[in-house]
Chain A
Amino acid sequence: MSVTAHKQKPDAGPGGTLPSLAGGYLTKVKGGDMGALPAVTALVVLCIFFWVAQPSFMTQGNFANLLTQGGAGIVIAMGLVFVLLLGEIDLSAGFTSGVCAAVLAVTLTRQGWPWYAAVGIALVVGLVIGLALGLIVVRIGIPSFVVTLAAFLALQGVALKIMDNGTNISIHDKTVLAIANDNVPILLGWGLCAVAVLGYAAVLLLRYRNRAARGLAVESPAVVGLKIAGLALLLGAAVLVLSMERSYNPALHSLKGVPIVVPLIAVLLVLWTFVLTRTTFGRHVYAVGGSQEAARRAGIDVDRIRITAFVLCSAMAAIGGLIAASRANSVDPNTGGSDVLLKAVGAAVIGGTSLFGGRGRMLDAVLGGMVIAVIDNGMGLMGYSAGTKFIVTGLVLLLAAGVDALSRKRALPGR
């Protein structure tokens, strides 16, 4: 996925030409915003490293695998972006996804509900958990760290209770299983790719036209063209690779096409990016994260924004839980447990979302989630143990948080 510059870049100089694009980025870095560059660099370096070290990393089969592996984490990370933007944290997002997956599994199998009802109730459970967390944090005023740490423990217990103290529940519903296991037909894959590129082009060109018509500073047509071409190239290449046969025995069972989870994440990415950058709610989320006092004085209902962020986070965790359940074909008490949450927080932070609030994008969660998935997958292929993987992922997270803290430190004294 390319770096979709949905934020208007600082239009330095007359007309946002290519050199000023670099210049604008530099100003942003000075302002404490590293953007997506660290994550993209890490992604490229890691991919090349694993490719050299283990050629089987760069196969179409593994590429598809990578995307479905990372799916649940990416979706949970996207939800976390909302709370992180406010400078809060939700440590219970992992087990929220676990509880929702458990609800899904129990209603599907033991209650025999149709898939849409089961998915619906799982989402509602997510919303309710988020509402409860938000209300406790905002109305009572307990720090979100403590509230969600308590919820982390409690929800783990709830998941155990739902699954009768730890039985593994298999899922047989075809629709739910399809999310992480089936692929979009080849033609539809290309169609979706075209829709994405054309949609992106339409947004950029419309903005160009409207800004030009009002005499506002515009990006140079070259930059606009480059952005569109870049996205087209990246998506095209990805769909091309995913459309190749990746079954070892195609005659027996053909396996090709874009995994369904990919367009699902893309839709969520576009939706939440739109909400964060184009709506009043999104603007207020950034404002509250930047300065709660300033937001309050501007007449923003700070409490409502904070509660909503927790609700959205938990709802996204619920969707993450569905994907995890679908991928594992089952739900057990460990779904959403162990390192799921830490990896999701890591994904958002590695992508460039600040732990201090006020800075971050939806795209960060996807990029950071890909970095984590690549480390996980690549090191697994190279035969490293889980222990080594944990250590490396931990170090990468520390590195990303360090970059975040340092860039913030640099930004602050410049008053």
Chain B
Amino acid sequence: MTASAPPDPRTPVIELRGLDKSFGPVQVLHDVAFSAHSGEVTALVGDNGAGKSTLVKCVGGIHPIDAGEYLFDGVPVQVNSPRDAAALGVEIVYQDLALCDNLDIVQNMFLGREKRNGLILDEYTMEELAAKTLAGLSVRTVKSVRQQVSSLSGGQRQTVAIAKAVLWNSKVVILDEPTAALGVAQTQQVLELVRRLADRGLAVVLISHNMNDVFAVSDRIAALYLGRMAAQVRTCDVTHAQVVELITSGRSGDLGLAGTNGNGNGART
């Protein structure tokens, strides 16, 4: 059903094949194939209700999959909980951030996985590691790692959330609309950060509605249409207009789903 991506010599870090997912009577994902490679930014695009968030939550282990294969580094794995995903090195940065306003940057980055020295929290190591991670991502907008998150701007919060995901030597970082609520300059900062993550060898999956963002940073684009993978293509092979067509009608020229035009019997959520 899907247009095959250009052949790639390397094995994708994450590869999903024939993924189905239903919520009760509503089938949200139909036979979806999706892959993400290390060192690349894969943009996941699609209209509202196309199944982007559901797909990501399946990858992150929040929703168990109904059918299909989940391969990690080419090996089939079972991911049944967020912990399983985290153990593999898959981290999701959610749209609503999941940071605690009343804690500082270090405390947030290590939340739930605090470093301890016996009974006592090892603040020194945590602060060092947090500062090192932020420095490694060339983040210079944050004045002090002991700042409370409530005092940070939207872009800085997003940066902290991303740094939190990177801290754990993760291999795959999934970003759910990281620039949705940001201004122009802050969007630019976050996009640069996204690019840097990929350049460091991580597989980055970027969910976005913004075509400019997608074309600015992504290496591949995966377009979902009504719960089906319309196409997964290299960014350099397609134009803006083609991607928009894929999102809105599921096909563009010889790309995309066969015979879906005006048919649309996929489930909407």
Contact = CB atoms under 8 A, between A and B. Distances in A.
Interface of A: 8-12, 27-28, 30-33, 210-211, 214, 216-217, 278-280, 283-284, 286-287, 289-291, 293-295, 297-300, 358-359, 411, 414-415
Interface in B89-135: 94, 96-104, 107, 111-114, 116, 119-121, 123-124, 127-128, 131
B12 interface: no
Interface residues of B, number: 35
Given A278-B120, A283-B121, A291-B101, A28 B111 contact: no
Name the residue among A287, A289, A291, A415 with the largest chain B CB count within 10 angstroms. Answer: A291
A290 B96 CA distance: 14
Given A11-B144, A291-B100, 7 more contacts: A30-B151, A210-B124, A279-B119, A287-B111, A295-B100, A297-B98, A411-B150
A291 B98 contact: yes
B21 to A, nearest CB: 20
Contact of A289 (B97, B102, B113, B131): B102
Interface of B: 82-83, 94, 96-104, 107, 111-114, 116, 119-121, 123-124, 127-128, 131, 143-144, 146-148, 150-151, 153-154
B99 A291 contact: yes
A287 B124 contact: no
A414 B150 CA distance: 8
Contacts of A299: 82-83, 112-113
Contacts of B128: 214, 216
A414 to B, nearest CB: 7
A280 B114 CA distance: 7
Contacts of B146: 8-11, 217
Given A294-B99, A298-B112, A359-B102, A32 B150 contact: yes
B111 A298 contact: yes
Nearest to A301: B112
A12 B104 CA distance: 13
Contacts of B98: 291, 293-294, 297-298
Contacts of A28: 148
Contacts of B101: 290-291, 358, 411
Name the residue among B120, B143, B146 with the largest chain A CB count within 10 angstroms. Answer: B146
B112 to A, nearest CB: 3
Contacts of B123: 8
Nearest to A411: B150
A329 B83 CA distance: 55
Contact of B102 (A10, A210, A286, A293): A286
B144 A12 contact: yes
Contacts of B112: 284, 287, 295, 298-300
A290 B151 contact: no
A31 B97 CA distance: 18
A334 to B, nearest CB: 37
B100 A294 contact: yes
Contacts of B143: 12
A296 to B, nearest CB: 9
Task: Pick the 5 closest A-B CB pairs, nearest first.
Answer: A298-B112, A290-B100, A358-B102, A290-B102, A299-B112
